[in-house]
């Protein structure tokens, strides 16, 4: 059957179902639910009126049909974005299953609840619900339910980054679907497997699986399933740089979706088309499809989709020189992400926005985007750190309770032994004393272990779990409780602040994975420990940033330290799997305390000045260090102006700076 014939088949199903909803439909309820099911999967806006028309009959139907009706009703509300209504029906489905001891009903309801938790970004709850649904589904004879639950479990492991378990689950789902012979189930399982292969960067396997899935979709006569596979093909093609193939897949998908009236799918395809044209640098078409996607998203009341469309439109405008319009749309898109609470996506957008502004020559705007991205990065980093500390505390409390139980058990044993001793001859009293002494030593040993664990927990609160360096909290506490002026051996001595940022760190994460990024951060922290002295404080400042505080150093030696750091880190080769990664850093530095005339800047403003110097190093080519050495006559400068635009003040002669180049130049420039 051709694509056109498949589209006509679904259109016929829509026509029959609509006609049935308009007049009296005498067909059995099971037949009508089966007719609505495929429509509900891809065109929920058409299916929901049909479901609501038979709601009274569906709720009064025999148990199996009632379960199927409630499952479809929850799915329809979900497809329309009515998450509260979808969750309420899912809860009703779970309660129905518990009341009748029906594992299938409970599994379907829990799967629906898991989807709702995922929509609200509650991933931990979503995964727990999914795995419980999988357990219950495997207790039934419902093959389709087993396939769906196994796919959902595989997706949950994928979201955790546990690719081996995800692969095992999804391959099991595909094997079960093949054994059952239902082409729709085969397409579902293979589509999830294609997405996993894409994340694992095993693109050849992804394309092989895609070919099998397309053949199954042909047999299923489902244009909606074929459309989802076109999106899978686009993802693989874009990941492998085959943008023309990806563009054709999206245009084919758009034609299918419009022919069956799948408005929500059309909206997402329009967004992907605008993104694809951006990659192809066809900014006219990118803007056109972005504008269409915004209109479609508004019709669906989908704020996240509209935000993505605005970001694409803004990038297209920036690329064509329409800076004001581009900024307006990008800022509107980012504001929507802020309202939705999607900080990881907002951080990624800010990186791209800053780079686009830098290319357009708007350095102040790029600097603002950079600082916003750094702030979000630090907030996310702090949340992960707090989560790690809470996990450690939870583990410690569990171990502490276990030790208390063991201690109580030991004490009970002592009491039992003492009762026996009273009934023994006086001759065994010495033996009882020995036993008590041993138990007392055991208690003392346990208390000593508890003391050590408390010390370990305190140490963890001021150390970064990945690198073992001091964390930002420790540095802030140190600066608040330590006098501003460092200990000086003479007039030629000073303290110093060095702020480092790993160059192209996002590219490393995106290309080789977060495990490679962690290996890079660990290698850099070890290298800094070798380059700097034991008396120097090295801090993991946030994400990929490090701060070094040197309490005492010759004033003439700051550039030399910067050169040592640049050269030392560039010489480190990070081995990750089969790859050897070479990394560089950009640095901003300044003496500390930093003063202008008789005014000594507070340490917070000194750190901000170093941060601005770091940004200059990033924007002037990376792999270099920019150092603030001092200021012109205090009567001729305004610190507030310098803090607003350090580069402009430098070029105007109000700030004395030095530039230290990395390996490519290996020289120190002064200005």
Q: What is the pLDDT of residues 540-557, one digit of tens each?
A: 998 889 999 999 899 888
Whether residue 167 sits in one domain with residue 100: no
388 domain residue, yes or no: no
Residue 68: both structure tokens together: 């199927």
Q: How far apart are CA 245 and CA 116, in angstroms?
A: 34
pLDDT on residue 380: 59
Whether residue 87 sits in one domain with residue 165: no
Query: Is residue 146 very low, low, confident or very high in pLDDT (cuts 50, 70, 90)?
Result: very high
Whether residue 653 sits in one domain with residue 558: yes
pLDDT on residue 161: 84
Query: Is residue 167 very low, low, confident or very high in pLDDT (cuts 50, 70, 90)?
Result: very high
Share of the chain above pLDDT 70, in %: 82
pLDDT on residue 439: 64
Whether residue 162 sits in one domain with residue 38: no
Q: Is 582 helix (H, G, I), strand (E, B) or coil?
A: strand
Q: How far apart are CA 170 and CA 151, in angstroms?
A: 6
Residue 365 has pLDDT above 80, yes or no: no
Whether residue 174 sits in one domain with residue 115: no
Q: How far apart are CA 671 and CA 33, in angstroms?
A: 78
Whether residue 161 sits in one domain with residue 112: no
Query: Is residue 2 very low, low, confident or very high in pLDDT (cuts 50, 70, 90)?
Result: very low
Residue 671 has pLDDT above 50, yes or no: no
Handedness of CA 72, 75, 80, 83 (dihedral sign): positive
Q: What is the pLDDT of residues 306-352, one digit of tens each?
A: 888 888 888 888 888 888 888 888 888 788 777 766 566 666 777 77
Residue with token string 């244009």: 223
Strands 585-592 and 624-631: parallel
pLDDT on residue 589: 96
131 domain residue, yes or no: no
Residue 544 domain boundaries: 470-670
Q: What is the pLDDT of residues 17-74, one digit of tens each?
A: 444 444 455 678 877 877 777 777 777 778 888 888 888 888 888 988 888 889 888 8
268 domain residue, yes or no: no
| 183 and 199 Cβ atoms separated by less than 8 Å | no
Residues paired with 657 in a beta bridge: 628
Whether residue 477 sits in one domain with residue 620: yes
Considering only residues 137 and 382, tell me which one the structure prediction assigns the higher pLDDT: 137
Average pLDDT, the chain: 81
Once rounded to an integer, what is the mean pLDDT over residues 183-199? 91
Q: Is 102 helix (H, G, I), strand (E, B) or coil?
A: coil
Whether residue 650 sits in one domain with residue 547: yes
Q: What is the pLDDT of residues 494-510, one digit of tens each?
A: 899 999 999 999 888 88
Residue 554: both structure tokens together: 């010759």
The secondary element (H helix, E strand) that includes residue 501 is strand 493-502
Residue 13 has pLDDT above 70, yes or no: no
pLDDT on residue 367: 75
Q: What is the CATH number of the domain that holds 175?
A: 1.25.40.10
Angle (CA) 589 590 595, round 5°: 160
Q: Which of 208, 240, 272 is the last residue of a domain?
A: 240
Q: What is the pLDDT of residues 103-121, one digit of tens each?
A: 999 999 999 999 888 878 7
Share of the chain above pLDDT 90, in %: 25
Q: How far apart are CA 531 and CA 546, in angstroms?
A: 14
pLDDT on residue 77: 86
| 147 and 177 Cβ atoms separated by less than 8 Å | yes
Q: What is the CATH number of the domain that holds 6?
A: 1.25.40
Q: Would you call the peptide bond into 518 cis, given omega within 30 degrees of 0 as the criterion?
A: no
| 137 and 104 Cβ atoms separated by less than 8 Å | yes
| 113 and 87 Cβ atoms separated by less than 8 Å | yes
Q: Which of 189, 221, 240 is the last residue of a domain?
A: 240
Q: What is the CATH number of the domain that holds 666?
A: 3.30.70.270
Q: Which of 103, 122, 141 is the last residue of a domain?
A: 122
| 98 and 106 Cβ atoms separated by less than 8 Å | yes
478 domain residue, yes or no: yes
Residue 151 has pLDDT above 60, yes or no: yes
Q: Which distant-in-sequence residues (6+ apart) come within 8 Å of 164 by Cβ?
A: none
Strands 655-661 and 668-670: antiparallel
Whether residue 158 sits in one domain with residue 114: no
Whether residue 166 sits in one domain with residue 77: no
| 536 and 631 Cβ atoms separated by less than 8 Å | no
497 domain residue, yes or no: yes
Q: What is the pLDDT of residues 286-299, one digit of tens each?
A: 899 989 989 888 88
Q: What is the pLDDT of residues 453-496, one digit of tens each?
A: 656 666 667 788 888 899 888 888 888 887 655 444 457 888 99
483 domain residue, yes or no: yes
Q: What is the largest CA-CA distance in the chain?
A: 102
Whether residue 74 sits in one domain with residue 110: yes
CA nearest 272: which of 290, 298, 297, 288?
Answer: 290
| 97 and 103 Cβ atoms separated by less than 8 Å | yes
Considering only residues 99 and 426, tell me which one the structure prediction assigns the higher pLDDT: 99
Give, as one character, the DSSP assignment of residue 667.
-
581 domain residue, yes or no: yes
Q: Domain count of the chain?
A: 3
Whether residue 594 sits in one domain with residue 488: yes
634 domain residue, yes or no: yes
């Amino acid at each position: 059957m051709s694509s056109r014939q498949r589209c006509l088949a679904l259109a016929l199903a829509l026509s029959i179902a609509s006609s049935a909803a308009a007049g009296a439909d005498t067909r059995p309820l099971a037949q009508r639910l089966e007719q609505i099911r495929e429509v509900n999967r891809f065109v929920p806006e058409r299916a929901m009126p049909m479901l609501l028309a038979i709601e009274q009959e569906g709720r009064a139907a025999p148990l199996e049909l009632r379960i199927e009706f409630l499952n479809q009703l929850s799915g329809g509300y979900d497809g329309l974005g009515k998450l509260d209504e979808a969750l309420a029906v899912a809860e009703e489905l779970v309660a129905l299953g518990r009341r009748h001891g029906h594992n299938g009903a409970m599994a379907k309801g829990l799967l629906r609840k898991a989807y709702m938790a995922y929509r609200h970004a509650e991933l931990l709850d979503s995964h727990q619900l999914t795995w419980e649904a999988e357990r219950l589904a495997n207790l039934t004879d419902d093959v389709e339910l087993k396939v769906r639950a196994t796919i959902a479990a595989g997706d949950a492991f994928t979201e955790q980054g546990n690719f081996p378990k995800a692969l095992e689950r999804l391959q099991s789902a595909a094997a079960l679907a093949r054994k059952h012979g239902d082409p729709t189930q085969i397409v579902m399982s293979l589509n999830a497997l294609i997405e996993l292969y894409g994340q694992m960067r095993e693109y050849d396997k992804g394309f092989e699986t895609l070919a099998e899935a397309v053949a199954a979709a042909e047999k299923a006569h489902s244009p909606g399933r074929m459309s989802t596979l076109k999106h899978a093909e686009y993802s693989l093609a874009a990941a492998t740089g085959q943008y023309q193939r990806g563009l054709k897949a999206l245009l084919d998908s758009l034609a299918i979706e419009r022919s069956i009236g799948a408005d929500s799918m059309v909206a997402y395809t329009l967004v992907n088309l605008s993104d694809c044209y951006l990659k192809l640098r066809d900014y006219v078409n990118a803007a056109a499809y972005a504008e269409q996607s915004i209109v479609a998203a508004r019709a669906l009341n989908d704020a996240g989709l509209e935000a993505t469309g605005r970001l694409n439109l803004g990038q297209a405008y920036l690329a064509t020189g329409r800076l004001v319009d581009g900024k307006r749309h990008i800022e509107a898109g980012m504001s929507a992400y802020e309202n939705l609470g999607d900080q990881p996506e907002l951080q990624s957008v800010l990186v791209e926005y800053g780079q686009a502004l830098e290319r357009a020559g708007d350095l102040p705007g790029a600097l603002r985007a950079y600082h916003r991205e750094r702030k979000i990065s630090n907030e996310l980093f702090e949340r992960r750190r707090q989560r790690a500390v809470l996990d450690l505390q939870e583990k410690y409390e569990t171990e502490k309770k276990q030790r208390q139980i063991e201690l109580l058990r030991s004490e009970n044993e002592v009491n039992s032994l003492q009762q026996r001793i009273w009934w023994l001859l006086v001759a065994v009293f010495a033996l009882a004393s020995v036993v008590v002494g041993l138990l007392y030593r055991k208690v003392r040993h346990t208390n000593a272990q508890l003391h050590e664990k408390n010390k370990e927990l305190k140490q963890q609160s001021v150390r970064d779990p990945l690198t073992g360096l001091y964390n930002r909290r420790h540095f802030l506490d140190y600066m608040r409780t330590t006098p501003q002026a460092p200990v000086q051996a003479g007039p030629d001595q000073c303290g110093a602040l060095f702020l480092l940022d790993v160059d192209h760190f996002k590219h490393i994460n995106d290309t080789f994975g977060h495990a490679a990024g962690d290996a890079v951060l660990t290698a850099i922290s070890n290298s800094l420990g070798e380059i700097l002295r034991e008396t120097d404080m090295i801090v993991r400042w946030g994400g990929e940033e490090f701060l070094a505080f040197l309490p005492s150093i010759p004033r003439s030696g700051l550039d030399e330290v910067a050169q040592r750091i640049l050269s030392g880190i560039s010489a480190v080769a990070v081995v990750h799997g089969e790859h050897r990664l070479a990394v560089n850093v950009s640095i901003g530095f300044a003496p500390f305390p930093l003063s202008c005339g008789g005014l000594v800047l507070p340490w917070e403003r000194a750190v901000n000045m170093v941060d601005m110097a770091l940004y200059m190093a990033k924007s002037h080519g990376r792999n270099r260090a920019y150092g603030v050495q001092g200021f012109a006559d205090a009567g001729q400068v305004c610190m507030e102006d310098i803090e607003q635009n350090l580069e402009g003040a430098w070029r105007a002669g109000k700030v004395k700076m030095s530039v230290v180049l990395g390996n490519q130049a290996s020289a120190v420039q002064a200005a």
